[in-house]
Amino acid sequence: MSSTPVLNDDNWSKLLEYVAESYSEVTLSRGFHFYKQQMVLSMNIAAELRKVHAVVEEFGEKCQVAIDLNQLKASSCTCPVKTSCKHIAAAFMELADRQGYPASQIMNAKMALKRVAAQSANVSTLEQLPGMTVEGWHKFMEHYTYHLKPNYDQWNFVELLRGQFANLKRTPITFSETDQFYFEFHQRLFILRKIVEQNAQAGVTFFTAATVYHLVDELMEWINPTISLLNGLISSERFQQTTAYFRTQMSVESPKKLHHFSVFTAFLASHPMLEESQIASEIVAFEVMQEAELSFSLCAGRAYLYLMHGRKALSWETLASHAAFKEAPTLLFRPFLDELKQKQDWQEMILWLRRMCSFYRGKRHLEIDVYVFYWKLVIAELPEAEADMWQSLEELLPTTYRIIEDLYYERRQWKRWIEMQIAQGYDPFTHRVHVLQPIEKESPELLLPYYHQAVEHYIRLKNRHDYKAAVRLLKRLEKVYKKMKQPERWEAFFTRFVSRFSRLRALQEELKKGKLLE
């Protein structure tokens, strides 16, 4: 950087304005190439006169550049173009770099000017934020982030938006504690909306879908503890403005991508001291809006409010009445089940879980695990509901095969669990030793058919490797009989076993190696 400053912020703005008016993008791009390739061989700055002389090389030819900072239009070059050429552009960039200004802004002069204008406008706008509505906040955020362009890496775009909003913290804004919460909440909602809109325009891939769901999860994890810190301080006005924002977003939401619906229900569930009158007012607002909108997300939001208001039958009827209900994703039901959990209305939860059963047919195990989680909550309070759970899971076979198997084990229904292992062709070697230990301790007799069948299987394979496996199982079987305190049954079985397979020399040798035969 030159020790002689010939540029200040005001001069810099004027230089950007001149470049934006006088240079094409192609010329600036070529000039930037010359600058990056260090083709500006020399530069002399006459600080008092505010004039600059530079030498720029191109294909061995040296072009003389003269810059007059007092009268930029008078700047010239010895090349055939003479003015507004790539050589002068390169010299501008070299001068900017030496004076401590970003040379890249010369190449992107128009964008840099817009950013500067936005920043100066934003400074005055920041003081007005506390008096703005939520709608005004979103208009401000749109303007504040307009220069950030989406790209293929959506998470990178999210981080750019977050970084831009982090800059707001450098300027004190006289928000109340409640407004501070709502303003940060709407920054997060703004980012979610931007990603949802980008997906709608460009189509959804695995990576873009993952970004949206990650944002929703983050939002829902952030809401509850953050609202609780408000110590009951709520703003009826901000609440109404926020729910109005949600209704607008839900009115255009895809029936299978209920992102704003999920955050809306988490917001309601977490909001402290939500009064009956507020819920009733929201129901009216949803009913009025849905008369003109056919959005399933709006319908689901209204149904959730009915459930919060204690109108349980109407809640389900509202959902079921919508044409898109049969194709609804399973994530739709979680807020409703959480509300019933919060109210400890277990009988109603049984009804909902039974009605929901068909929606989980053919779904991923992760989704069905959530379904089973709520069944477990019910059974912990109403053990008699266990039969309903098994009926639901059986209706979802074969998808729920593994889940039923795990539940049998978890609930120590050993006989049914072992029958499922045998039906699938498994043997004791399928499991780690600790898996069978509790069965051996509590109901060792149930392991007998499992071990006996496996021993027979390995003997039929008739090779030494499998004979060794059969011997290992026989030793474990002997332990089971001893655990049952029935050694005589073991002796009787083993005597018959040795007699049956006395002609299999390799097996007899392995039995001796295993010290089962002398």
Average pLDDT, the chain: 88
Q: Which of 138-147, 249-258, 265-274, 377-386 has the largest mean confidence?
A: 377-386
**pLDDT tops 80 at residue 117:** no
Of the pLDDT bands very low, low, confident and very high (cuts 50, 70, 90), residue 155 is confident
- Give the Cα separation of 196 and 254 in Å (integer): 10
How do the domains of the chain map onto residue ranges?
A: 9-114, 127-343, 431-513
% the chain with pLDDT above 90:
55
Stretch 373-387: mean pLDDT:
95
Contact 99, 5 (CB under 8 A): yes
Higher pLDDT, 39 or 127: 39
Dihedral, CA atoms, 62, 66, 69, 74, nearest 10 degrees? -130
E-assigned strand segments in 144-254: none
Of the pLDDT bands very low, low, confident and very high (cuts 50, 70, 90), residue 247 is very high
What would the pLDDT profile of 467-509 be if each residue is shown by its tens digit?
A: 999 999 999 999 999 999 999 999 999 999 999 999 999 999 9
**pLDDT tops 90 at residue 3:** no
Contact 479, 428 (CB under 8 A): no
**pLDDT tops 70 at residue 216:** yes
Stretch 57-69: mean pLDDT:
89
Of the pLDDT bands very low, low, confident and very high (cuts 50, 70, 90), residue 415 is very high
**Cβ contacts of 251 within 8 Å, gap of 6 or more:** 289, 293, 295, 297, 298
| Nearest to 149, CA basis, from 118, 205, 206, 111 | 111
- Give the Cα separation of 34 and 36 in Å (integer): 6
**pLDDT tops 80 at residue 205:** no
**Cβ contacts of 330 within 8 Å, gap of 6 or more:** 356, 359, 360, 363, 367, 370, 371
Sign of CA dihedral 139, 144, 145, 147: positive
pLDDT given at position 55: 94
Of the pLDDT bands very low, low, confident and very high (cuts 50, 70, 90), residue 1 is very low
Q: Residue 261, SS3?
A: helix
**pLDDT tops 60 at residue 441:** yes
What would the pLDDT profile of 327-345 be if each residue is shown by its tens digit?
A: 999 999 999 999 999 999 9
- Least confident stretch, 13-27, 179-193, 300-314: 13-27
pLDDT given at position 2: 45
Structure tokens at 296: 């399933």
pLDDT given at position 230: 64
What single-letter DSSP state applies at residue 347? H
- Least confident stretch, 14-23, 145-154, 431-440: 145-154
pLDDT given at position 165: 87
- Least confident stretch, 141-145, 180-184, 311-315, 419-423: 141-145
Q: Residue 56, SS3?
A: strand
Contact 413, 446 (CB under 8 A): no
pLDDT given at position 122: 55
pLDDT given at position 204: 52
E-assigned strand segments in 19-82: 40-46, 51-58, 61-68, 76-77
Q: Which amino acid is at 510?
A: E
- Give the Cα separation of 298 and 264 in Å (integer): 11
Stretch 24-39: mean pLDDT:
89
**pLDDT tops 80 at residue 203:** no
Q: pTM of the prediction?
A: 0.69
Stretch 363-368: mean pLDDT:
88
